[in-house]
Amino acid sequence: MNKEGQSLKRIKKLLTKKISILSSIMIIVSGILIGSFVLANLRNGNQDFIKAGLVENTKPIAEIAQKTGPSMVGIRMTIVTTLDRFFEARGQTSRAEGSGVIISKDGYIMTNYHVVSNADPRNKEHKKVTLEVFLPDQRQTNATFIGGDPLNDLAVIKIDLKNLTVAKLGDSSKLKVGEPAIAIGNPLGLEFAGSVTAGVISALNRTISIEDRTLNLIQTDAAINPGNSGGALVNLEGKVIGINTIKISVSGVEGLGFAIPINNAKPIVEQLIKYGYVKGRPLIGISGREITESMANYYKLPVGIFIANVERGSGAAKAGIRKQDIMIRLAGKKIETMLDLNEVKKAYKAGDTVNTVIVRGKRKLTLKLTFSEEQ
């Protein structure tokens, strides 16, 4: 290689080295600029990250638990049944425990209906049931059942104690997916009373079907377990935004808890306190069993609701509906399940009149049904 070629080679090496150094300097500068930007955001906008659930901030959760905890109570339902065995009376005791929220200075407590259902006077065994409430300040007392709404899984009970801490109720219509949520209650019973779990609002307006009813719920990944039922889901202001009610317990599935939005619960609870039931809600007055498609094919019957019993004096009784009738339509809608029946009822109130189609033997009859009032 001649001298001119060697010189050109040296120049290329020097230029390549300089470019490499400049690139490294640019990367370092970019890193410093990006780091400064992130640091500035963390310093100046930390609360935004906290609200978004990107940065942990345990101090508010501790403060909220301390502030809201005194309003959360444990509820125990004790059922005593007497068995006559070889002419000897023996008592059998069963217990169920859950949570509740103090909503007034005079002792009204909001909870789930399923937590206290056996104490409902509509339950034949209610006289054998004792309700007890356990407060965070170690006080405990018996409670009175005030009213219950099985359809929305809400109930109100009352205690006679002074110096009660009342929970502040929030506005569930303002909730946003991703904002923090804190569940407070008694998972697995009173042994773990006052437990606090934190998560986020995972979804809103989740429609969940349970047995013969449909609930519109808040979804959260804050841990909710048996015993949490009736407890509070609260926001970062320490306000109750929901009443914890169910968790999906399936192998391999975690973080699927649900709460009744407080805006849905408030009007129902107010009516339970005032009347003991939800006023104006329509009642048909039947109990029945679903005839599924497979059953219908086997027994040569129509799909619908087999009427097992008709309540005396109810709208169904006055309409002429009898035991062993099969209801197949109500208010123009096909009826195949109890869920179908309840969905149709939601569009009406006590006193409204609709047509119902029933099958009696080999005859199909159309009857006029006036809803009575559910109490």
Tokens of 222: 């804050």
Q: Are 180 and 236 in contact (CB under 8 A)?
A: yes
Q: In degrees to the nearest 10, what's the CA dihedral of 134, 140, 145, 149?
A: -10
The dihedrals phi and psi of 289, each to the nearest 5 degrees, come to: -135, 140
Q: Are 258 and 206 in contact (CB under 8 A)?
A: yes
Q: Which of 71, 99, 114, 202 is catalytic?
A: 114
Q: How far apart are alpha carbons 241 and 231 in whole angstroms?
A: 11
Q: Which of 229, 314, 325, 372 is catalytic?
A: 229
Q: Is 175 exposed, middle or buried (0-12, 13-18, 19+ CB in 10 A)?
A: buried
Known catalytic membership, residue 114: yes
Tell me, what amino acid is at 185?
A: G
Q: List all residues 6 or more positions away from 71 whose beta carbon is below 8 Å from its beta carbon.
A: 101, 102, 165, 166, 167, 232
Known catalytic membership, residue 153: yes
Known catalytic membership, residue 229: yes
Q: Which of 149, 153, 221, 325 is catalytic?
A: 153
Q: How far apart are alpha carbons 208 and 175 in whole angstroms?
A: 19
Spatial CA neighbour of 182 closest among 197, 169, 194, 172: 197
Q: Are 146 and 276 in contact (CB under 8 A)?
A: yes
Question: Looking at the annotation, which residues are catalytic?
Answer: 114, 153, 229
